Chains A and B, each alone.
Chain A
Amino acid sequence: MHSDGLEQTRVLAEEYANRAIAAIDGFPESEAKEGLVEMAVKTLKRRK
């Protein structure tokens, strides 16, 4: 019932991660660009 503090934090983190990915959308496709996208995705999944 009190889970909304953590849930809202997670939602906001996800929003920022998505904005990070969107920011470099215009970069030419490359492995490095994929690496940057992966960093943003991994940020949300990390456990430490």
Chain B
Amino acid sequence: MVAKEMKFLTGNIRQLLGSGHPSLDTVAQYYTQGEGKHVRPLIVLLMSRATALAPKSPRYTRQSSTPDIDNSISPSEILSDVNPNSPTMNPLAHVPTSYSASESDILPSQRRLAEITELIHTASLLHDDVIDHSVSRRGNPSANLEFGNKMAVLAGDFLLSRASVALARLRDAEVTELLATVIANLVEGEFMQLKNTARDEKNPVWTEDTISYYLQKTYLKSASLISKSCRATALLGGSDETTVDAAYLYGKNLGLAFQLVDDMLDYTISEKELGKPAGADLELGLATAPLLFAWKNNRELGSLVGRKFAKEGDVARVGFFHRSMKHAFINDIIGKRTGDAQ
């Protein structure tokens, strides 16, 4: 459906990441090599096409046919931001993109937004891996392990900067506001995640607020990028207010569902199948949804949550607890399926 556009994605992203420094190039492009799932760009491209036929805002006037998303706003000699990969800086480096296909109903600005979402997401992976002391990603050594924390953090910053530059060149202040806020949200969500509960008590008691704190953190860390990029997609396409709000709600709910499933898989899927260590959240001291819901009816889990499972035997205790949970869970599902079949 959007396979053609997806095919050019990685090449286009690398075009946005050229620098005057070879080792910066290496670290910055490190996570763009593997076959990532590119979920966020895929959503943006589908949303572009799905909203193309939806009603337009009365203020919308069709964009001029010559997109200037590759052109700087300030003179390039002032910007002093060397990018040998940029088509405007070096016509020889220009890799064919599918941008020229003028018959496409996906606008060049929307394709660029898809690339920006992947840049922001990749930057967050670089930073997350430093915070979590990760050792591998997608079957390869993680960037922090391969290049060290300093370069991994700086490369993540560089990705965010180039995402911001690309964003500015979309020349849409509302879209810039949305995506710049995503970056703030990612950081705030990461800060919230440093604690398991809002007040970070030693011996927390379960309340409804426990779940709302977790959901707020999850919105900021996971759903913000998807929801705000969906909204930005509709804005770039000139959609009316109803469509813009619908796109945002789709992204917000999908993002929350996505993260809840992620948190479940951390408990239910083996390391081999997941491609990253299973039970990693607990090892990091994180209480995610499955544990928070279980805590409601098992108050003794509170002290473990409070000390972030740091005491010897805590992870094993929850691990044992969850293994029995997992078996019961799977039995439940099998039970239901058998029930359905009868």
Q: Are B269 and A20 in contact (CB under 8 A)?
A: no
How distant is A31 from chain B, measured CB to nearest CB, in Å? 5
Known contacts A28-B53, A47-B265; A13 and B260 CB within 8 A of each other? yes
- Which residues, 154 to 181 on B, are CB-close (under 8 Å) to A? none
Q: Is the pair B257, A2 in contact by a Cβ cutoff of 8 Å?
A: no
Contact across chains for A44 and B46 when beta carbons are under 8 A apart: no
Determine if B329 and A3 form an interchain contact, defined as CB atoms under 8 angstroms apart.
yes
From residue B3, how far is it (CB to closest CB) to chain A in Å? 11
> What 1/0 flags go to A1-40 for Cβ under 8 Å of B?
1111111111011101101110110111011110110011
Q: Chain A contacts of B51 at CB under 8 A? A: 27
Nearest Cβ on chain A to B335's Cβ, whole angstroms: 10
> How many residue pairs, one in A and one in B, have C-beta atoms under 8 Å apart?
143
Say yes or no: A2 contacts B293, CB within 8 Å. no
A39 contacts B43, C-beta separation under 8 Å: yes
Please tell me which stretch of B14-22, B85-93, B243-251, B306-314 contacts chain A, meaning at least 4 of its Cβ atoms lie within 8 angstroms of it: B243-251
| Interface residues in chain B, defined as those with a beta carbon under 8 Å from any beta carbon in chain A | 1-2, 39, 42-43, 46-54, 242-243, 246-247, 249-254, 256-258, 260-261, 263-265, 267-269, 273-275, 289-295, 297-298, 321-322, 324-326, 328-329, 331-332
Give the dominant DSSP class at A's interface.
Answer: helix
Expressed in whole angstroms, the Cα–Cα distance for A1 and B267 within the complex equals 16
Contact B261 A23 (CB under 8 A): no
Q: B54, B290, B295, B321 — which one has the most chain A CB atoms within 10 A of its CB?
A: B290
Please tell me the number of chain A residues within 8 Å of chain B, measured between CB atoms. 36
**Quick one: closest B residue to A25, CB to CB?**
B246
Whether the pair A35, B260 counts as a contact (CB closer than 8 A) is no
User: Can you list the 4 inter-chain pairs with the closest CB atoms, starting with the nearest?
Assistant: A5-B294, A32-B49, A3-B328, A20-B253
Cβ–Cβ contact B273 & A47, under 8 A: yes
Contact of B258 among A8, A31, A43 (CB under 8 A): A43
Specify which chain A residues have a CB less than 8 angstroms from the CB of B269 in the assembled complex: 47-48
| CB-nearest residue of chain A to B288 | A9
Contact across chains for A27 and B263 when beta carbons are under 8 A apart: no
